[in-house]
Amino acid sequence: MVAFGSDPKLRSAAASLADAPDEWDRAMADPRAWLRAKGVHVPDGLRIEFVSELSTSTPLPPRGLGNPGPDWVPFSIRQFNCRKYWLPKKDDKGRIISYEEVSICFGFSIVPEQIPGGPRG
């Protein structure tokens, strides 16, 4: 099946559909005959369908598709070399009324996150 999917004739035939929308009807009606007319040999027992839009009644598992979900972020920012300080809060007259804890980080790194089902996932 890998050899079939990487066949240049198949790729050319599939790409031609993007340029000729009227071909979709013929390709959807009889995919095997349409591919044969384009010079593509379809292995016996292989079912081929051309569809104009994808729809499914059941949700597809995101791991199988390799598409990130809504909670996926492309990268995270990690801070390091952080210090905590107590800064005085002052009133209008300049008197210290309380202290506030603040953190300051002197370094950060941007770390890419893995894409689910991707080359590193």
How far apart, in whole angstroms, are the C-alpha atoms of residue 91 and residue 64? 59
Confidence tier at 121 by pLDDT (50, 70, 90): very low
Q: What is the pLDDT of residues 6-43, one digit of tens each?
A: 788 888 888 887 777 778 888 888 888 988 898 988 88
Q: Check: pTM over 0.75? Answer yes or no.
A: no
Q: What is the pLDDT of residues 67-114, one digit of tens each?
A: 566 677 778 889 999 999 999 999 999 999 999 999 999 999 998 877
